[in-house]
């Protein structure tokens, strides 16, 4: 797994414009963001691709709240 691609996708999903594009056509959104889908576990990608724009926003909101809480990264990874 290319960890950098997974991190990049996670960071991009924090942006409203990317979430909208991802929800409409995740392959095109990832290509435009230069994120290599082969570096992301298939189950993770399939799950994210099945989410609506609103659901992706909730995920980004939870991730943001966890980061603001200054929890260790390993704890955040276990929560999301």
Reading the chain (80 residues) residue by residue, the pLDDT tens digits are 478 898 899 899 999 999 999 999 999 999 999 999 988 899 999 999 999 999 999 999 998 898 889 888 888 777 76
pLDDT at site 78: 74
pLDDT at site 71: 83
**Cα–Cα distance for residue pair 69/35, rounded to 1 Å:** 28
pLDDT at site 77: 75
pLDDT at site 67: 84
How many structural domains are present in the chain?
1
pLDDT at site 80: 66
**Cα–Cα distance for residue pair 9/64, rounded to 1 Å:** 14
Domain span at residue 59?
A: 3-79
pLDDT at site 1: 47
């Amino acid at each position: 797994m290319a960890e950098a691609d997974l991190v990049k996708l996670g960071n991009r999903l924090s942006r409203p414009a990317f979430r909208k594009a991802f929800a409409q056509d995740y392959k095109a959104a990832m290509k435009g963001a230069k994120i290599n889908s082969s570096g992301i576990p298939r189950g993770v990608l399939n799950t994210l691709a099945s989410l609506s724009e609103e659901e992706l926003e909730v995920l980004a909101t939870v991730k943001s709240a966890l980061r603001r809480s200054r929890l260790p990264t390993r704890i955040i990874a276990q929560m999301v």
